[in-house]
Chain A
Amino acid sequence: MTGWLASITSRMDGLYEYDREPVTPDRLQSGGKFAGLFAGEHVAATEFVIGAFFVLHGVRAKDLLVGLLAGNLLAVLSWTFICAPIAIRTRLTLYWYLRKIAGPGLTIVYNLANAVLYCILAGAMIAVSATAVGLAFRIKTPALDAIFPTSVGWVLLTLLIGALFTILAILGFEKLSRFAEVCSPWIFIVFIAGALAVLPRLGVRPDLGNFWEIASTKIWNGIPVAGQEKFGIWHIVFFAWFCNLAMHIGLSDMAIFRYAKKWTYGLYTAFGMYPGHMLAWICSGIMVAAVGREMNPGLMAFEALGLAGVAGLVLAGWTTANPTLYRAGLALQTITPNWPRWKVTLAAGAITTGLSCFPIFFVKLLDYVAIYGLVLMPIGAIVFAEHWIFPPLHIEQYSAEKRGWAFNWLAFGVWAGTLVVCSLMPIHLYFRWLPGTFIALFSYLFLSLGRKD
C-alpha cells in the first residue's frame, strides 16, 4: 500500500515538477495580462445555458440585474481577498501548497475528484454543442427532466462530437489553445449580436423606449416554465457568487495569481465576471425568450445568427471542452503508470464522451455547477485556516510536510464531514456552501488545537 502510494506520488510530482518552486519576481505578470486572461476564460458554451435557465426559472428582470451585479461583485472580492493574498504570499499552486498541508495521499484524492468533475463539465459542453449540430439532423434536444439518453440519435451525436473533440485534443492541445485565443473575442460578440438580432422579434423598438417593459413582461417576467422551480434574487446572487467557487474560495486559481505582483490583481477578475457572467447571461436570456422559452441552445443560436450562430456554439463548446479535457487528463495521469499524453487524453475523452450522452448533466447544469463548487470548497477552507489562522494561534502549520504524513486524516475527515453535513442541510442547494465553508474552517481549526506549540 505504502509502495503504491509512493509510486503514484512520485509520478504526480513529476507531472507538476515544473511549478514546484515558488514563482520568482522576474516571472511576475502585468495587470493587463490578468485582465485579458479572465476576459477570455469566462465566456463559454455553458453561458448559453445558464442565462437561459434563469428565464426558465422565472427570475424577474430587476432581481436578475441586482442579483448579477451583487453576486459577481462578491465573486470578484472572493478572488481579491481570499485567493490572491494566499497566492502572492506563497507563490505556489494549490497542488504544492495542499501537499504541505494535507500530504501527498490526500492531494491525489483531491486531484481525482477534480478529474471526475472536469470530465462532467466537459461532457456538458459536448451536449451543448450537440444541440447545435442536432438541428441539421432533426435530432430532438432532451427535455428538461431527462436523465438518461432520450434517443439513439442523441447518443450517436454526442459520441461523434465527443470523439471529434477528443481526437482534436490529442492531435494538438497547444495549437487549439492558440486557436481558442482567436475564438474568444468573437464568441463574446456572438452573444451580444445574437441578443441584438432577436430584440425586434420580441417587440423592442429601435429607440429602446420599451425595452424595460419587454424585459419585465416577455423575458424575465417572474413566471417559471412548467416543472422549474421559481428563482428569486438570492438564487441569482448566490449562483453568480459560487459559479467559480472552486477557483476563488476553493483556491484553485492560486495557479494564476502566484504570478500577480499584488493581491489587488484579484480585482481584474471583474473583466471576466461582468462581460461573461453578466452580459453573456443576459444575452442568452434574451435569446431563449425569442425562441418561446425552449431550452435548446442550438436553436437559440441558429434563430439569432443563422449558420454563424451554430458555428459559434460549436466553437464555444469545443474551445472550452479542450482545456477541460487537458486538465482532466493531467489529473488522471497520476493513476495511469507511464501512459503517454495521448493515451491519458483518450481516456479522459472517453469518460467525458460517455457522460455527455446523459442529458442530466446538461439539463441540470445549474445544480451541477453548485455541486462542483461545493465538493471542492472544504479544501479551500482548510488551506485558508492553515495559512491565516494557525500562525496567530500558535498552531503548527504544514504538519503533513514536517512529520512526513502521506495522508492528513484530519483534513480528509473535515472535507468528508463538511460534505455530509451540507448534504443534510434543510436549505436550497445554492445556499449550502456558505455555512459549509464556515463549518469546514472552524471544525478544522478546533480539531487542530491539539497541535498547538
Chain B
Amino acid sequence: MLKKCLPALSLLSLAGCLAAPLLHFLGKLGPDAYQMIFLAASVGWFAFATLWTRRK
C-alpha cells in the first residue's frame, strides 16, 4: 500500500513546492506563509522521494 502511495505523495509534495509561491504571486499568501509551506513541502518531497527511490 505504502509502496503505491509513495510516488503520489512525492509528486504532491513537489506540487506543493510550486503551489506556495504561485499563491503568493496571485496575492493569496503572505511571504512568511508561502516560505513556510515551501519548506514543509520540500521536507515532504525529500522524505517520500527518498523512500520511493529506495523501494524501487
- The residues of A with any CB-CB pair to B shorter than 8 Å are 178-179, 181-182, 185-186, 189-190, 192-194, 196-197, 199-200, 204, 206, 304-308, 311-312
Please judge, given known A-B contacts A306-B35, A308-B35, whether A193 and B46 are in contact too, CB under 8 Å: no
Q: Please, which residue of chain A has its CB at the minimum distance from the CB of B15?
A: A189
The 9 closest A-B pairs by CB, nearest first: A306-B35, A197-B21, A196-B21, A193-B21, A308-B39, A182-B49, A206-B26, A189-B17, A308-B42
Knowing A186-B17, A186-B42, A306-B38, say if A196 contacts B53 (CB, 8 Å).
Answer: no
Q: Is the CB of B12 closer than 8 A to any CB of chain A?
A: no
Query: Of all chain A residues, which has the CB nearest B38?
Result: A308
Given A182-B46, A185-B14, A186-B14: A197 and B24 interface contact (C-beta under 8 Å): yes
Residues of B close to A193: CB separation below 8 A: 17-18, 20-21, 38
22 cross-chain CB contacts under 8 A: A179-B50, A185-B14, A186-B46, A189-B17, A189-B18, A192-B18, A193-B38, A194-B21, A196-B22, A196-B25, A197-B21, A197-B25, A200-B24, A200-B25, A200-B27, A304-B21, A305-B38, A306-B38, A308-B35, A308-B38, A311-B42, A312-B42
Size of interface on B: residues with Cβ below 8 Å to A: 21
CB closest chain-B residue, reference A304: B21
What is the bound-complex CA distance between A306 and B39, given in angstroms?
8
Please measure, in the bound complex, the distance between the C-alpha atom of A197 and the C-alpha atom of B25, giving whole angstroms.
6
**B positions within 8 Å CB-CB of A:** 14, 17-18, 20-22, 24-27, 34-36, 38-39, 42, 45-46, 49-50, 53
B contact patch SS: helix
Could you tell me the distance in whole angstroms from the C-beta of B40 to the nearest C-beta in chain A?
9
Q: In the docked arrangement, what's the CA distance between A181 and B36, Å?
A: 24
Q: Which residues of B are found within 8 Å of A181, using beta-carbon distances?
A: 53
Give complex CA distance A197, B33 in Å.
12
Q: Could you tell me the distance between the alpha carbons of A60 and B2 in the complex, rounded to whole angstroms?
A: 50
Determine the chain A residues whose CB is within 8 A of the CB of B34 once the complex forms: 197
For B27, the closest partner residue in chain A by CB is A206
With both beta carbons as reference points, the residue of chain A lying nearest to B35 in the complex is identified as A306
Q: Least Cβ distance of A39 to chain B in Å?
A: 14
Give Cα A372–Cα B49 distance, bound, in whole angstroms.
35
Q: How many angstroms between the C-alpha atoms of A49 and B42 in the bound complex? A: 23
Instruction: With a 10 A CB-CB cut-off, give which of A193, A194, A307 has the most chain B CB atoms.
Output: A193
* Chain A residue at minimal CB-CB distance from B46: A182
Which residues on B sit within 8 Å (CB–CB) of A312? 42
Q: What A residues does B20 contact at CB under 8 A?
A: 193
Q: How far is the CB of A362 from chain B (nearest CB, A)?
A: 25
A178 touches B38 (CB 8 A): no
Q: Give Cα A190 to B20, complex, Å.
A: 11
Could you tell me if B53 and A182 are in contact, using CB atoms closer than 8 angstroms?
yes
Q: Which residue of B lies closest to A312 (CB)?
A: B42
Looking at the assembled complex, report how far the CB atom of A299 sits from the nearest CB atom of chain B, in whole angstroms: 15
Q: How far is the CB of B32 from chain A (nearest CB, A)?
A: 8
User: Which residues of chain A have C-beta atoms less than 8 A from B38's C-beta?
Assistant: 193, 305-306, 308
Give CA–CA (A305, B24) in the complex, Å: 11
Task: Tell me which of A181, A182, A192, A194 has the highest count of chain B C-beta atoms within 10 A of its own C-beta.
Answer: A182
B17: A residues at CB distance < 8 A: 186, 189-190, 193
How many whole Å from B27's CB to the nearest CB in chain A?
6
State whether A199 touches B50 (Cβ < 8 A).
no
